[in-house]
Amino acid sequence: MKFLVLNGVNLNMTGTREKGVYGAETLDEINADLKAFCRANGHEVDFYQSNLEGELCAQIQQSTGVYDGIVLNAGAFTHYSYAIRDAIAAVTTPVVEVHLSNVFAREAFRRTDVLTEVCRGEILGFGKLGYKLALESFWL
């Protein structure tokens, strides 16, 4: 199977921003680990990060027939992007939502999530392990 790990706004700062919340590993380090994890399980994976909402929508739109699943951490877009929500609803590619932190244990605005309803499932609060669990959910 082939997967896309899609990270949204500010996730490129992982490893340097709020390390106590998001961890000390960079996104490149996390992605290298995910690549090895997919390879070891006989799967392919691509990575894409953008701080631009429209670019994330374009990746989701183009996923049909290319990817068997998307693992999506949309960052703060999670809490208000109807555009990303509609892009997920527009395709048949299953999307599993991931958050490094437990958004329910944080500020009230993070408890609003406009994406979950159109996702296959959601994993949050387990740091980078969440991406692995999300990937595994596609093949286990």
Q: Which 8-state DSSP code applies to residue 133? A: H
Catalytic residue among 43, 67, 99, 131: 99
Nearest distance, CB of residue 21 and ligand DQA, angstroms: 7
Q: Which long-range contacts (CB under 8 A, 24 or more apart) does 115-119 make?
A: 115/72, 115/74, 115/78, 115/81, 115/84, 115/85, 115/88, 117/85, 118/85, 118/88, 118/89, 119/72, 119/88, 119/95
5 scored as a contact of ligand DQA (CB under 6 A): no
Q: How many CA atoms lie within 13 A of 13 on its CB side?
A: 11
Q: Which stretch binds ligand DQA (CB under 6 A): 36-44, 57-65, 71-79, 81-89?
A: 71-79
Q: What angle do CA 140, 120, 55 make, to 5 degrees?
A: 110
**Residue 82 known to be catalytic:** no
Task: Say how many residues touch ligand DQA, by CB under 6 A.
Answer: 10
Examine residue 103 and tell whether it contacts ligand DQA (CB under 6 A): yes
Q: Is 99 a catalytic residue?
A: yes
Q: Which is nearer to ligand DQA, 18 or 86 (CB)?
A: 18
Should residue 78 be labelled a site residue for ligand DQA when binding is judged by CB under 6 A?
yes
Residues that bind ligand DQA (CB under 6 A): 10, 73, 75-76, 78, 99-101, 103, 110
